[in-house]
Structure 1
Amino acid sequence: MEMEKELNELPVLQTGDLICQTSELPASKSLRFVLISPYGPRGAFLLHYQGHFRAYLNKCLHLPVTLDYDTGDFFTGDGCQLLCQTHGALYDPLTGYCNAGPPIGLSLVPVKISVRQGSVYLEQRPEDFPSGTFD
């Protein structure tokens, strides 16, 4: 399967691992990675927006596809919203809330991170994902 091949090409991170230096991720850009979940490896992404860093699972809430269609491009052309490349749903980068498109009113699954001394770390523990996250 193409998605599994794509996951194999991304860095696999565990709780406490460095994702990147803050200086390495420009504004309105993102970085994909794989994290370990209770159900095996799952795609995720880190974004930098308006001086803030957020991370989410790379999973559309409407269909079982990645938001970026495996391109690494999550933002709209103007860099103001996240876009599901499959059906055009729009999500707020800071909250993950879907404000337009089929899953309107739902939010992307956040991934816990921390920013310390110019570095972004993965803080999500596999057991901390809400039940039903991977259904």
Structure 2
Amino acid sequence: MCASLVAATDDIPEVGTYLFTVREPDGSLEEVVLVDLEDGVAAWKNFCQHETDQRLDRGNGAAVRDGRLICPKHGSMFDAETGYCDNGKAAGSTLVEVDIAVRHGQVYLTDDDLEFVGEGGIDDDGSPSSTSHLTF
């Protein structure tokens, strides 16, 4: 297993998400969000299960309330730790988990099916953006 450094745990906002881009086995790009949990970090593919073209994090952090990621379009709320949604149009579904490991304050992508491309989301030209993850 080859692990790629994604970010330092200090880079993940306490409320919100850290966005990065990966390459799928078919060559397509996909976005992933890191979520700071009380006892670690979770990684989820950045789309709502109700509408897969609806991103949870649109480039400046997903809305997170009471330990849940909120779909900005329909308001479905996904548990940040388990990915499960029990309300709204996505009720009964679970976010797609991405394998990561946290070692010595660093987050590594350990999912054998994905290749780390870069920080940020996918721009319109298909490349990762270089936007900051700071929000005000």
CA distance in 2, matches of 1:23, 1:59: 24
Q: Which ranges in structure 1 are unaligned for 5 or more consecutive residues?
A: 1-14, 128-135
Closer, same or farther: CA 118–69 of 1 in aligned 2, 3 Å = closer
Q: How many residues align?
A: 112
User: How many angstroms does 1:75 deviate by?
Assistant: 2.8
Higher percent of residues as helix: 1
Which of 58, 77, 91 aligns to 1:70? It is 58
Q: Is it true that 1:60 corresponds to 2:48 in the alignment? A: yes
1:69, 1:86 within 8 Å by CA — same for their partners in 2?
no
After TM superposition, the runs of 4+ consecutive aligned structure 1 residues lying more than 3 A away are none
User: Normalised by the size of structure 2, how large is the TM-score?
Assistant: 0.73
Report SS of the residue matched to 2:86: strand
Aligned-residue Cα RMSD (Å) equals 1.8
2:46, 2:57 within 8 Å by CA — same for their partners in 1?
no
Which of 89, 92, 95 aligns to 1:102? It is 89
User: How many angstroms does 1:79 deviate by?
Assistant: 4.8
Q: Is it true that 1:47 corresponds to 2:38 in the alignment? A: no
User: How many angstroms does 1:118 deviate by?
Assistant: 1.1
Q: Is it true that 1:88 corresponds to 2:94 in the alignment? A: no
Q: Is it true that 1:21 corresponds to 2:8 in the alignment? A: yes
User: How many angstroms does 1:27 deviate by?
Assistant: 2.0
1:90, 1:101 within 8 Å by CA — same for their partners in 2?
yes
User: How many angstroms does 1:50 deviate by?
Assistant: 1.4
CA distance in 1, matches of 2:16, 2:7: 13
CA distance in 1, matches of 2:54, 2:42: 17
User: How many angstroms does 1:114 deviate by?
Assistant: 0.1
1:49, 1:93 within 8 Å by CA — same for their partners in 2?
yes
Q: Which ranges in structure 2 are unaligned for 5 or more consecutive residues?
A: 115-136
Q: What per-residue deviation string (whole Å, max 9, x for no partner) do you get for residues 1-50 of structure 1?
A: xxxxxxxxxxxxxx521111112223233111111112311111111021
* Percent of pairs with identical residues: 28
CA distance in 2, matches of 1:50, 1:81: 12
